[in-house]
Structures are given as C-alpha cells and as structure tokens.
Amino acid sequence: MLTIMRKKLYKWHSIGALFAMLPLLIISLTGSILVFKVELDTWLMPEHMQVTNTHTGERLSLDILMANVKAKYPDSEIGSWELFDDKIRTDTAYLIDHHTNIWSKLYLNQYSGELLSTPVGTSDDLTDWLLDLHYKLLLETNGMFLGAIVSLLLLFLGISGIILYRKFWQKFFTLRFKLASRIFFSDLHKMVGIASSPVILILAFTGAYWNISLVIHEVEHIIEEPYYIEKQLHNQNISIQKLLDSNQETIKDFEATYLLMPFEPAMDIMFYGTVSSENPLSSNYASTITYDKDTGKMIHSEDVRSADALHVIDDSFRKLHFGHFGGLSSKLIWCILGLSPLILSFTGLYLYLYKNRNRKMLTVSRRKKSISN
C-alpha cells in the first residue's frame, strides 16, 4: 500500500514539476535578482537613487515637496510617496494621471526639493520590469493568477519532495560522481531539493499568499465600476507635514516610510512606518496611522508591537519572502537557494526523460519477446 502511494506521489511530483517548470524558472531567476533590488537600482541609477549634495541638512516640508511635484505635473495627482531620511536615498513620488488608472513614479531630493527625473511607468526601470515579470509574468491579473498556481505547485513539490526523499539525510553529503549519470543527477536532485526546501517552502507559501490576495483585490475592482481621479480628494487646507510630525504622538518611535494618499473616494490619508521592535521580521510597513481626509483627525492606528498574531505574521511575509531580515547573510542565502529550482528543473527533467526512455525500451523489448514466442 505504501509503495503504491509513493509511486502515485512520485507521478504527481513529476507532472507538477513539468507543468510549472517554465514559469518557475522565470520566477526563480527574477526572484534571486530582486533580493538585491535596491542595490541594483542604486548601481544602475545613482543619479536618481542617491542624495548627491553633501550639505543635506533636514528634510524639506512634505507640503513643499508635494506642491513642487504638483506644480510641475498639474494633470496628475499624488497617489503615494516613499519617505527616506538617511541622507543617502532619495524620495520617490508615485503619480496617477487624471481620468486614467495609469501610475508613474519620479525621484526627488527631499533635502533640496530638486526633481531628479521625469515620471516613468512603474515597470519601466529594469528592476521594476523584473518585479512585474516575477509576480505577474507580464500578464497583469492573469499573470497573478498563474503565479498563484505556480506558487502552490512549488509548495506541493517541496512538501512531496521531502516525503519522497525523507531518508536522504542519511547520505546527505554523498554525490556518486564515478557512477552512471542517472545516479549522479539523482543524488544532486535530492541534495539540492532537501537543502533548499526550508527556503523554497517559505518562498512558495508567501508568494502564493500574496498572489491570491492580489487576484482577489483585482477581481473586486473589476466587479466595481472603475474610478478615475480628476482632482485632489483630500482637504487642501490639511498640512501633510503636520500629520507626519504628529505621528509619534499616536505611536511611540514611529518612523514613517510610506504615505498613501486618497485616490478613491472611500480612502483616507495613511502613513505606513517602522517602530523599535525586537522582532527581526518586522517590516518597514508594519505599523500604520490613518487620518480623515476631510478633517485631518486621526481615526485609526495599528502598532505592530501590540497587534494581533495575524497582523504580525502577515507583516513578516515581506522580509521572509525576500530574505531582508538578517542583513547581507540572509540575502545571499535567499539569492543562492532561490536559484535551486533551476538545478532541480534540469536534473528532474533529465531523470524523467531517462525513466520514460527506459520504460519505452522495456515495453518494446517485451513486445518483441512476446512476438518471438
């Protein structure tokens, strides 16, 4: 009975791997590159990503910065804003063109107010294009759905691989180079699969979770009548800088990293940020503070340090997926082990073709023998 179940599991493991192989190779390769997205952007676009003037001083008022962008691009509204105050990395403003759902982004020096680029599409820069390829396969909502399926398949392949080769730990460091190529590839497939399985399972689960969430969000928006922004939706008398300054009155040690402006009627003004926490998986968007877009009154706050377990787990997926929780060491591990599906695909395909060839040869041999008899 166990042998039959093992054969069936092996069959489904092989079928799942064949079905997911091509998109999995794309997702694996792009994901490993995107572990170092910020570093690559800084290397490729230093004039956009890095503050160049030496006498940076303090950040300019967010009201002034936003007014500068709005004056330059009056036919767009500010949808969101990435905030940095490390004297190194520049701010990024995200714009929405009037009467459309088209988003773009531009870089600016938050200390001088200088706009460092013109607006470009959110997938125009190389790493942004790779990110789009990674989680949507350049297919928009259909790509998100396909990515979710591939992630679930990867999760199944990881779990089924552990079950099939659960005793491989006994000879974990054994690679039989001098024996037949089939044996060597089998050893390599098992070794890489078992060694990378913890990371692969994390990547698969978090990737599936995000893609399914995004698909649900997109479907909800498809059902609803689309809204196209035409003007600012918040009270223009509200000082966004004053809201930023008052954040720490609501959440102690709160450092804003991202501002989300209302671009649909039901939305308000929301700051995402980080707080001092002993949790290494707490992200830069772990805590939030929301202000009423009409009055500027604080209406909701979420401190990750006192949040429920579901919120903490959900937030931890950000660092877990891209390995940004242990500095350079965890990034390198995630980058290298994230490439393991490349090796697993090649060795697995070889073993599958080898086994099928032998099965066909055995079938032919049996037919010839039956005919001769």
> pLDDT at position 352, please?
78
Integer CA distances (angstroms), 249 to 16, 289, 296, 325, in order = 52, 11, 14, 28
Distance CA 43, CA 25 (A): 25
pLDDT for position 311 = 95
Q: Are strands 76-82 and 255-260 parallel, antiparallel or unpaired?
A: antiparallel
Same domain, 355 and 315: no
CA distance from start to end of the chain? 34
* 187 lies in some domain: yes
The tens-digit pLDDT sequence of the chain (373 residues) is: 667 787 888 888 888 888 888 999 999 999 999 999 999 999 999 999 999 876 668 899 999 999 999 999 999 999 999 999 999 999 999 999 999 999 999 999 999 999 999 999 999 999 999 999 998 888 888 888 898 999 999 999 888 888 887 766 555 555 555 556 667 777 777 778 888 888 999 999 999 999 898 888 777 777 778 889 999 999 999 999 999 999 999 999 999 999 999 999 999 999 999 999 889 999 999 999 999 999 999 999 999 999 999 999 999 999 999 999 999 999 999 999 999 988 888 888 887 787 777 665 555 555 656 666 5
Structural domain count of the chain: 2
Task: Tell whether 372 is covered by a domain.
Answer: no
Structure tokens at 328: 């350079």
**Same-domain status, 31 and 136:** yes
Residue 107 lies in a domain: yes
- Does 152 fall in a domain? yes
What pLDDT, on a 0 to 100 scale, did the predictor assign at position 2?
A: 64
C-alpha atoms less than 13 angstroms from C-alpha of 288 in its C-beta half-sphere: 14
51 inside domain: no
Whether residue 264 is found in the same domain as residue 197 = no
Q: Which residue range(s) make up the domain with 214?
A: 2-36+130-225+333-364
- Do 190 and 247 lie in one domain? The reply is no
Torsion of CA 66, 67, 73, 75, to 10 degrees: 100
- What's the number of CA atoms in the CB half-sphere (13 Å) around residue 229? 24
Residue with tokens 């956009």: 48
The pLDDT of residue 205? 94
Instruction: Quote the pLDDT of residue 373.
Output: 56
Sequence-distant (6+) residues with CB within 8 A of 37 are 127, 130, 131, 322
